[in-house]
Amino acid sequence: MLNLGIIGCGAIGTDVAKAADKMKELNKIFLYDVDKNASGELNKILKKSEIKPVKEFLNDVDIVFEAASQKAVEEYAESILQKGIDIILMSVGSLLDTDFKNNLENTARKNKCKIYLPSGAVCGIDGVLSASIDEVYEVTLVTTKPPVSLGKKYERRTIVYSGDAREAVKKFPMNLNVAASLSIAGIGFDKTKVEIVADPVVNRISHKILAHGSFGRLRAEVENMPNPNNPKSSYMASLSAIATLKRIVNPIQIGA
């Protein structure tokens, strides 16, 4: 039986906590959010949960799930890994800093634990990961969003960004963890191309991955339903996080 710590009790953290509450492999769930109301409300509807500061629950958990912010990753990830605890990161954009990313990798390796990066709101990352074993020539992510999702107004379809993933993650830190995950799985932040489109006609967020390499060609597209608890977040991101947690506790491993 394993214990789980959750950092961030927003829409995704709530979805994961509810799913974890039903998993027989998990014994206890510890909740933390800077917003005490968020953790308090979530705690009321769970059977296995308890509210506890991160530094305190690290002595009691086997896995930590982060769905808070890049700042939270910077604050807690290293200390979690130093204790030999596996961590699931949703704020993948925090790994944009190469030195920070390498430090976490080295810490995890030294303490024999894992850093899990869910696919999030996109499909096709497994394919890019497999393809990267050999030569990959090009990877492009095309993200199309309703203007409201970007906090702006557009009367017609507009390309709001076209460039590399590194700059995309910097300019849209709340919107493009997908680009970060894709870059790490494939050819890196500087070679991965990103196009962000605002389209007033659409009412759902879509992500399309295009890749070309020695393996052949890959095209994967998903049109996401919004999370019922937060329209700015894709429901697929929550499902991906839950699937990652189930993969950790399940003896059968599927995927690249």
- Per the annotation, the verdict on 212 as an active-site residue is no
Task: List C-alpha distances in Å: 51 to 28, 44, 75, 152.
Answer: 11, 10, 19, 37
Catalytic pick among 207, 222, 241, 244: 207
Q: What is the 3-state secondary structure (H, E, C) of 156-184?
A: CCEEEEEEEHHHHHHHCCCCCHHHHHHHH
Q: Distances from the Cα of 109 to the Cαs of 4, 64, 81, 184, 225, in angstroms? A: 21, 17, 9, 17, 37
Two structure tokens written together for 188: 């890196």
CA angle centred on 43, ends 38 and 48, rounded to 5°: 145
Please tell me whether residue 41 adopts helix, strand or coil conformation.
helix
Instruction: Name the β-bridge partners of 87.
Output: 64, 115
Residues forming the active site? 207
